[in-house]
Chains A and B, each alone.
Chain A
Amino acid sequence: MIGWQAPAALGALGLIALPIVVHLLRTHRARRIPFPTLRFIAPSRSSSVRLRPPSDLPLLLIRIAIVAAAALAMAQPVLVTEARVKVWNSRLARAVVIDTGPAMHIADETGTTPIALAKPLASSEAAGAAQAVQIETSSVADGLTRAAAWLGAAPPARREIVVLSTFRAGTLTESVVAQLPPSVGLRLVQVGRPLEARAIEGVRPLTAPGAPSATQEVRLTGPATSVTRKIVAGEFRGARVVGVDPATPAAQRLWRMLATAGTPAPSGDRPIALAFTEWPAGERIAAFGPETPRWMLQVLLRLRSDAALQRAAASAPASVLSASDPWVAIALDREGAPLARLARAAQELVMQVGAPIDSLFGAAAARALLDAGAGESARPDQEILRAAPATLAAWSRPAPPIDREAWRSLDGSDARWLWAIALVLLALEQWLRRSSMPRTIKVRDAA
């Protein structure tokens, strides 16, 4: 079988017509011989260009062969023989994907991290292949994509991806494995010992005077995850409230209700203020701009997409606020007036609510602001649950023999042989042309 790496160049075979046309319509130059007189010679046709059958057939055939060899060489042919396929099948191209995610850096009881075990293992895996590459990535799915791309461009050989990871739950999914080309083998090597249990700090809930305060501890124990809430007494620590005395019964009720519901407390690096009245004229507020901290914009987006807040706004009475700069409305009443709006005051994020503190919307707005301010609470990187060995075995597959299109990734082609043939033919053509040149007739003037 012959494959062509640049099949478009086969169109150059049309140039074969060139020598044929040249031979058919070649300029026929008769031997020129000086002669004493032409008075006894009947002239034949004086035209020097004639349509005639190719007179020099061997020369024509050689020229056609030269053009054909050059055109075929430009098409970059690859001769796929049984012997070559055997050699290619005996080689292995291997891409070693090393998971560098957080789970790979969690030390076990002996103090050894999985990444420390993975590195030498990756080197030995790479050394065992004819061609290999090591890809370090915090996303195994991304590493698999990069490995498949590298193997796609690798010279013809059996292809295999080796993944070194703890394979905690969620590291790899069946859909990601299914996207790998069938010509690539997959071996999933689980490194490090599984953890028996791991305790991580949960979300810090809001506390309020008079309300039961609590902390959370999440205990991960193998396949089961248990959450232990420790109830502790504490003081109120929440957002700054503007325009309302925290000691008022309405304020006390609001904070107790939020604390009891487990609403997260705002962190110290994300200061927020909540105003249920007009914003004090002495405290300057500013619009959101390029210099706005990223977390403020994230809070703004979360509030706008908070379905509970929007539902509460729909049933709230008319707002006492009106649209004005630099406030950005995040919830509107039925008349379109802002019920809740955001702005910046120095490093503080300010929410102004157009409803009383003891109203349903007031509570919903306060809850939404604290939720949004706490940010993402998911901690998947701390997961210790691992994929089952049976699952990994099901996803693994040996490197299959090379497929029929493997020659396409061959670096180089057999064009050099055709170029050599073309050069030999060219030399032969030169020799033939010179040897067929007319003998020079010397006319000497002996006088």
Chain B
Amino acid sequence: MSTSLLDPALLNAISDLELVARVTVDGTVSGLHRSPFHGYSAEFSQYRHYLPGDDLKYVDWKLFARTDRIYTKQYRETTNLLAQVAVDASASMGYQGNGPVSKLAYARLLAAALAHLVSSQGDAVGLVAFDDQLTTYLPPRGGRLHLRRVLVSLSKLHASGSTGCGAGLRRAIDLLKRRGLLILVSDLYDDDDGLEAELRRAIRIGHEVALFHVLTPDELVLPFGGEVELEDLETGRRVITSAAARNGYREAFARFLERWRTICASYGIDYHRVTTDLPLDASLRDYLRRRTRSDHR
């Protein structure tokens, strides 16, 4: 377990989520040279590979003629960034196992830190929480008061219901009026195809998508010895399994992780797999560094 100041267990013990977010962000961003977030503007920013669904008016045909590759021009908007943080609050997120905090607690800390970071840059941040339906919605807005509302809503989240990422994500995308940044924090225990379709739709619309795949260390290895009866937190279904089935589980779970990594890579989704035993600043710093590097490119 980490002994860092930003240890998840320690942060989770602090009831003031605003303080937690500020501490986390201040300790993380201080090492970065520039802001990792930027909005869309009329000022040319960079080229990016054309993706199906991109508006053809942004295709640089001259470049296509020179390189025989299709690039889309990105512009820096004059308006601020719209960031929508979508948190999966289904029952499976309540699992803690042998980790320091539950997945939902970790997701809450992560979402609070990201919201604080976006808001502190003067951009708009919103919150969507869902299980099998939308439970919380705060439209993206700027300002300290709105940030506080976001943090209060985050602090009230509790794990219940079954995962309905697809439906929740669709509502979150629909409620994002213009192109923006969609940050999904989930364990992705849902219909893979449906969720992939919604993420693909978000990309096509023009949203930038970051996916934080939150897991506990237990879920990676299935550490239970002997014969155990596992009960699904969402459906209540029970299955008796033994240590002999552990290898099969690890292989199936590895395929699951690889699939999502591949999907995200193919759609340009910023995929981050985080486990609840990781210090929060490490998870956040990793994301921000990668985001900053992509901005440079």
Contacts and interface: CB of A to CB of B under 8 A. Distances in A.
Given A33-B229, A33-B231, A41-B249, A443 B97 contact: yes
A178 interface: no
A305 B99 CA distance: 113
Interface in B210-240: 216, 219, 222, 224, 226-235, 237-240
A446 interface: yes
Contact of A31 (B97, B226, B248, B253): B226
A445 to B, nearest CB: 4
B231 A40 contact: no
B157 interface: yes
A75 to B, nearest CB: 41
A44 interface: yes
B189 A36 contact: yes
A37 B189 contact: yes
B119 interface: no
B102 A30 contact: no
Nearest to B158: A447
A434 interface: no
A46 interface: yes
A35 B98 CA distance: 12
A30 B240 contact: yes
A48 B240 contact: yes
A443 B248 CA distance: 24
B94 interface: yes
A45 interface: yes
B239 A43 contact: yes
A446 B189 contact: no
B58 interface: no
A31 B108 contact: no
Interface in B150-175: 157-159
Given A44-B240, A46-B240, A447-B157, A36 B229 contact: no
A67 B102 CA distance: 48
B245 interface: yes
Given A30-B229, A447-B159, A36 B187 contact: yes
A445 B234 CA distance: 13
Contact of A447 (B108, B187, B222): B108
Nearest to A37: B189
Given A443-B95, A447-B93, A447-B159, A38 B240 contact: no
A34 interface: yes
Interface in B122-171: 157-159
A379 interface: no
Contacts of A443: 94-97, 233
A45 B229 CA distance: 11
A264 to B, nearest CB: 106
Interface string B235-259: 1011111101100110011001000
Contacts of B238: 32
Mostly, the A contact residues are loop
B245 A44 contact: yes
Given A446-B12, A446-B105, A447-B94, A42 B248 contact: yes
A284 interface: no
A42 B245 contact: yes
Interface string A12-31: 00000000000000001111
B101 interface: yes
A33 B89 CA distance: 20
B231 A445 contact: no
Given A31-B226, A34-B95, A38-B230, A445 B239 contact: no
Nearest to A445: B94
B245 A34 contact: no
A37 B96 contact: no
A444 B240 contact: no
Which residue of A36, A37, A39, A43 has the most chain B CB atoms within 10 A of its CB atom? A36
A239 to B, nearest CB: 110
Contact of B102 (A37, A40, A41, A446): A446
B105 A41 contact: no
B104 interface: yes
Given A35-B231, A447-B158, A40 B239 contact: no
Nearest to B106: A446
A41 B235 CA distance: 14
Contacts of A45: 240
Which residue of B228, B230, B248 has the most chain A CB atoms within 10 A of its CB atom? B230
B24 interface: no
Contacts of A35: 95, 230-233
Interface in A208-248: none
B84 interface: no
B275 interface: no
A30 B233 contact: no
Given A42-B245, A48-B240, A30 B95 contact: no
Contacts of B28: none
Nearest to A28: B227
A421 B235 CA distance: 50
A444 B105 CA distance: 11
A34 B91 CA distance: 11
A13 to B, nearest CB: 34
Which residue of B12, B94, B216, B253 has the most chain A CB atoms within 10 A of its CB atom? B94
Contacts of B103: 36
Which residue of A30, A31, A45, A48 has the most chain B CB atoms within 10 A of its CB atom? A30
A28 B240 CA distance: 11
A305 B14 CA distance: 121
B185 to A, nearest CB: 13
A259 B102 CA distance: 132
Contacts of A43: 239-241
Given A33-B228, A48-B240, A447-B108, A40 B233 contact: no
Contact of B96 (A28, A30, A48, A444): A444
A447 B92 contact: no
Contacts of A33: 224, 228-231
A45 B245 CA distance: 12
Which residue of A35, A38, A40, A447 has the most chain B CB atoms within 10 A of its CB atom? A447
A40 B228 CA distance: 15
Lowest 3 A-B CB distances belong to which pairs?
Answer: A36-B92, A40-B252, A446-B105
Given A34-B231, A443-B233, 6 more contacts: A31-B226, A32-B238, A35-B233, A38-B237, A446-B12, A446-B96
Interface of A: 28-46, 48, 443-447
28 contacts: A28-B227, A30-B228, A31-B224, A31-B228, A34-B230, A34-B231, A35-B231, A36-B93, A37-B189, A37-B232, A41-B239, A42-B249, A43-B239, A44-B227, A44-B242, A44-B244, A46-B239, A46-B240, A443-B95, A443-B233, A445-B94, A445-B104, A446-B12, A446-B96, A446-B105, A447-B94, A447-B102, A447-B157
